[in-house]
Amino acid sequence: MKFIRFSTGILFLIILSGLIAALILPVNPAEDYQSQAPPELLISDQDFLYQDAGCTVIYGTDGTISLGGNNEDYSDPSTMAWFLPPEEGKYGRVYFGYEGYIWGGGVNDQGLFFDALAVDDPVKVSQGNKPLYQGSLPDKALSECIEVSCVLDLFAEFHSHDTWMHQFMFGDALGNSVIIEPAREIPGGKTFQVATNFYQSRTNINDCRYCDRYWTARNMFEDARGLSVELIRDILNTVHLEDDYSTLYSTIYDLNQNLIYLYFFHNYQEVVVFDLAEEFQKGYNSYVLADLFPEIEDYQEWAGPELNRLTEIRASYQEVIIDPGVFDPYLGDYRGPADMEMAFSYYSIGYERGELVLKLKPDKAWLKLTPTSENTLYHASTFDVIEILLLEGENGEANQFTYRDGSGDYTFIRIEDQPVEKAEEPEVENLFSELIEKLYRFAGTYTFKFLSIILILLILQIVISYLRSLLE
């Protein structure tokens, strides 16, 4: 009988400890960026965009020079570069990417560079108490920051969709680098850092899909006798990709001298060198990368099918010339339906650099809109083919449009004209849910943890006294 009572007491202690532990552990990850727990993977419809895509980003420093490098591996042949000279409150910046101002990496005139790396499994990070930053955090970083510590402060302060669709590597001219994953950061080593398309914080780097490029670059750094532009070039050459997802361009950033070495379509024999000071003296400027390397015939053969496809799509639309003022009533910010799977949270019709565009971010992804009538427009690129039908609301106001792409039709309404939902009267169930939510929040506080520890000690004392009485 004493044995049964003793076993019952032990079982009671185990269950009680489990319940208390469940209460003590916070339900949500900590808001501090560096201490967030690994979030759950979110497999989204965007995955097909990145299947088999590559990209390698590297950084090296020896205390005297600091160099950043990038291989851009993808299937979109319409690559470009944009030079944005310094302006009040913003450093001068250069971005490399794709038609439509869809950039993926760049450098500023203070010696800070970054590049984004696509991942197979996008990770959704809860916004928590952070303010939502509608723009792109890398652009804010290059506009305002000189060193990596400043970048980390921005990612810790703001929430952005960029923080879960990609991972980023940043490096500065002072010898610092970091890989920013959706909920982790990987500090750079003393002399180099390498990133490819996997999360180093949660992946076995000895057995993963993209580890071959990682280990090749890492070994070349470790075996090198010294750091140089030639070393970075040789590493990028060794890990470049071909076929469907080819290395479209490679960049090497001399972060101390403000020089950029640009290579095109995995040809490392020809190079174009940009001096940022000289480029910024020209004012705003952009380049189609293929125009800078007209002699590379392999690119024309590889890019031909996609460029011909886009030519045929654009030719299928009857373009018209219309007074731009016709579209002025529709300029502004819009919000789409809640059930639309969107990679961006910001949709705006406006003019940028003289062109009417659909902006998916205030500072990135400006898709040129070409009119086919006074209320219809289209955009066609490798990124997407989109049709826009401008609509009037119930009161005759120009405040809506239909967005059509390959997945369906969606109605967008100007944000200030969104219907205001009437607040519902609180129900008992809602009050109970709100109480539970508050308890969960309280469960993550230090006060709750301290009180819980005291309670555990008191309960353990009672349980131990009870068990002793059973054994007497």
Q: What is the CATH number of the domain that holds 370?
A: 2.40.128
Are 304 and 339 contained in the same domain? Answer: no
What sign results for the dihedral spanned by CA atoms 323, 327, 331, 336? Answer: negative
How many domains does the chain contain in total?
2
Percent of the chain with pLDDT over 90: 59
- Point out the least confidently predicted range of 213-217, 338-342, 429-433: 429-433
Are 291 and 346 contained in the same domain? Answer: no
User: What confidence score (pLDDT) does residue 282 get?
Assistant: 95
pLDDT higher than threshold 90 for residue 278: yes
Give the β-pairing of 185-187 and 192-195.
unpaired
Q: What is the pLDDT of residues 172-187, one digit of tens each?
A: 999 999 999 987 899 9
Are 289 and 336 contained in the same domain? Answer: no
Q: Give the start-end residues of each E strand in 127-266.
A: 166-171, 177-180, 185-187, 192-195, 246-254, 259-264
User: 131 with 156: CB under 8 angstroms?
Assistant: no
Tokens of 128: 């928590």
Are 286 and 369 contained in the same domain? Answer: no
pLDDT higher than threshold 70 for residue 14: no
User: What confidence score (pLDDT) does residue 118 get?
Assistant: 86
User: What confidence score (pLDDT) does residue 449 get?
Assistant: 59
pLDDT higher than threshold 90 for residue 460: no
Q: Which of 287, 308, 329 is the last residue of a domain?
A: 308
**Which of the two residues, 143 and 123, has the higher pLDDT score?**
143
Percent of the chain with pLDDT over 70: 79
DSSP state letter for 426: P
HEC-encoded secondary structure of 243-284: CCCEEEEEEEEECCCCEEEEEECCEEEEEEEEEHHHHHCCCC
Are 247 and 336 contained in the same domain? Answer: no
- Cα distances (angstroms) measured from residue 467 to each of 2, 12, 152: 10, 11, 52
Host domain of residue 380: 317-417
Q: What is the CATH number of the domain that holds 210?
A: 3.60.60.10
Are 195 and 290 contained in the same domain? Answer: yes
**What distance in Å separates the CA atoms of residue 140 and residue 180, rounded to the nearest whole number?**
15
Residues 6+ apart with CB under 8 A from 52: 244, 245
**What distance in Å separates the CA atoms of residue 377 and residue 407, rounded to the nearest whole number?**
18
Q: What is the pLDDT of residues 296-332, one digit of tens each?
A: 989 999 999 999 999 999 999 999 999 989 999 999 9
**Residue 436 covered by a domain:** no
- Cα distances (angstroms) measured from residue 114 to each of 151, 169, 235: 10, 5, 18
Are 355 and 301 contained in the same domain? Answer: no
Q: Which of 369, 386, 417 is the last residue of a domain?
A: 417
What average pLDDT score do residues 198-221 get? 86
User: 91 with 106: CB under 8 angstroms?
Assistant: no
Are 304 and 341 contained in the same domain? Answer: no
Are 273 and 395 contained in the same domain? Answer: no
